[in-house]
Amino acid sequence: MERKYKHKGYMSNDREETPREHRPAEPRPARQERLGPKTPRMVGTVLRARCANCGAVLAPGFDPQAQCLRCQAELHSCKQCVHFDTGARFECTQPIPERIPNKNARNQCAFFEFRTNVEKDTSPVMAPAAPTPAASPSRPTDARKAFEDLFKK
């Protein structure tokens, strides 16, 4: 039978197969014991409150009756609430008696809970303190002085 394509692997089942040798599995050498488990370098998470209008991070212990420090939006409003949902009736998941027309305005809703999110903690890790310039006299502090020191005779 003539093969349609000549590249290797096409209709490879028509060639004679040679039986493979079966070798018994050898036991693997045991791994060296470590002192402890390897610690993963995972990013931590933090519970963070943000302004729904501008996205500014609100300081822990902020007053929900106040305004955002960055955009002056009201913090006790429907947009800042956990129960705010644009797909729900009256745009709230709680059984409110009537629709609140302005979702950015301050209101006195009994169901209000400020929305907080779990976010990845991307704040820089505190590195060990760098040596002070007085502690290392071989390293110049001024960039110009360092440049001039390169071409000193």
The beta strands (E) that lie in 2-125 are given as 45-49, 116-120
Cα–Cα dist 90/84, whole Å: 9
Arithmetic mean of pLDDT, 20-27:
71
pLDDT at res. 135: 45
Q: Quick one: what percent of the chain has pLDDT higher than 70?
A: 66
Arithmetic mean of pLDDT over the chain: 77
Q: Kindly tell me if the per-residue pLDDT of 52 is higher than 60.
A: yes
Closest-CA residue to 106 (of 55, 48, 53, 47): 53
pTM of the model: 0.51
Per-residue pLDDT of 74-124, as tens digits, reads: 888 999 899 999 899 998 999 988 888 898 899 888 888 989 989 888 776
